């Protein structure tokens, strides 16, 4: 069987001949893996609707008088004395609640909204490095499942935290998981499809990512508050955990680490689904 063929080396053409170049088995897996890009796109673009531009005004403090000049961030209470505004009124005609209104991220705290996006993108970068190492050690499937679960759980938790610092922490962890799903799902797809299909699939794989960006405003429009929006972009990933029973481990990775017997089982299933005679796998 295949274990004898791959005892000393792993010829790529033989692996591909065993499971086919592109068939129903490949298509199901390719579609499933590409759906991972929807929550990835939502999380990457989420800051636009978590912290949208918001008009605000200062609520006059008790120490002000009728003649006080009230500005956005300070109040002139007379005699050249400026008092920092500590309470704000927000325009909620478009977005009822955002992280800006939740934690008063205006005036001298305005840059904290940029910190959220910076941490998100840095987390995605860290996720790529971290999960690339993990995927080489324990396989492609397990890290993908871990990343999907982590992305969903931390995304949901971040919608319920009471402090900005905790929100930032869970968004960062979620971003690490997002980077992991991006990388591992792409690697797994490229290791399964035939070489001649890799260029086309690498393009088609990102179509849901584009659609995810397009649909993000719709999700924000339907939710109105940042908590509901954060929940809406995080919960769908829970259903992707069903991939544990759908997505196989990469046969190429199994062969590379010396586990041909497990790879053979996957290739035989692929051959049957793609209607390739099993004699080709001997």
Could you write out the three-class secondary structure of the chain? CHHHHCCCCCCHHHHHHHHCCCCHHHHHHHHHHHCCHHHHHHHHHCHHHHCCCCCEEECCCCCCCCCCEECCCEEEEECCEEEECCCEEECCCCCCECHHHHHCCCHHHCCHHHHHHHHHHHHHHHHHHHHHHHHHHHCCHHHHHHHHHHHHHHHHHHCCCCCHHHHHHHHHHHHHHHHHHHHHHHHHHHHHCCHHHHHHHHHHCCHHHHHHHHHHHHHHHHHCEHHHHHHHHHCHHHHHHHHHHCCCCCHHHHHHCCCHHHHHHHHHHHHHHCCCCHHHHC
Q: What percent of the chain has pLDDT above 90?
A: 49
What's the mean pLDDT in 48-66? 74
Is the pLDDT at 251 greater than 80? The verdict is yes
pLDDT at 13: 56
Mean pLDDT for 149-165 is 94
In this model, does residue 273 exceed pLDDT 90?
Answer: no
Q: How confident is the model at residue 279 (pLDDT cuts 50, 70, 90)?
A: low
pLDDT above 50: residue 20: yes
Q: What is the pLDDT of residue 2?
A: 44
pTM, 2 dp: 0.84
Q: Read off the pLDDT of each residue in 6-31 and give the average, rounded to a whole number.
A: 67
Q: Which CATH number fits domain 14-54+97-274: 3.40.50.300, 3.40.190.10, 1.20.1250.20, 2.60.40.1120?
A: 1.20.1250.20
């Amino acid at each position: 069987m295949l274990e004898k063929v791959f005892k000393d080396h792993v010829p790529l053409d033989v692996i591909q001949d065993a499971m086919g170049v592109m068939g129903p088995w490949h298509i199901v897996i390719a579609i499933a893996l590409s759906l991972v890009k929807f929550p990835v796109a939502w999380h990457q673009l989420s800051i636009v609707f978590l912290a949208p531009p918001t008009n605000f005004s200062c609520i006059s403090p008790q120490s002000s008088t009728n003649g006080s000049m009230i500005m956005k961030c300070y109040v002139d209470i007379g005699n050249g004395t400026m008092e920092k505004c500590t309470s704000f009124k927000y325009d909620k005609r478009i977005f009822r609640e955002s992280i800006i209104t939740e934690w008063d991220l205006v005036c001298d705290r305005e840059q904290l909204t940029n910190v959220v996006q910076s941490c998100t993108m840095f987390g995605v970068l860290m996720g790529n490095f971290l999960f690339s190492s993990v995927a080489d050690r324990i396989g492609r499937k397990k890290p993908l499942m871990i990343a999907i679960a982590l992305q969903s759980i931390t995304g949901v938790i971040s919608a319920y935290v009471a402090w900005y610092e905790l929100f930032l922490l869970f968004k960062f962890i979620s971003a690490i998981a997002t980077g992991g799903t991006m990388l591992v799902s792409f690697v797994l797809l490229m290791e399964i499809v035939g070489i001649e299909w890799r260029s086309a699939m690498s393009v088609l794989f990102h179509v849901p990512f584009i659609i995810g960006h397009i649909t993000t405003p719709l999700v924000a429009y339907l939710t109105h508050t940042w908590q509901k929006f954060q929940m809406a972009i995080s919960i769908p990933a829970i259903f992707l955990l069903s991939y544990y029973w759908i997505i196989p481990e990469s046969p190429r990775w199994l062969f590379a680490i010396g586990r041909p017997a497990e790879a053979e089982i996957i290739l035989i299933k692929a051959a049957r689904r793609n209607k390739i005679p099993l004699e080709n796998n001997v």
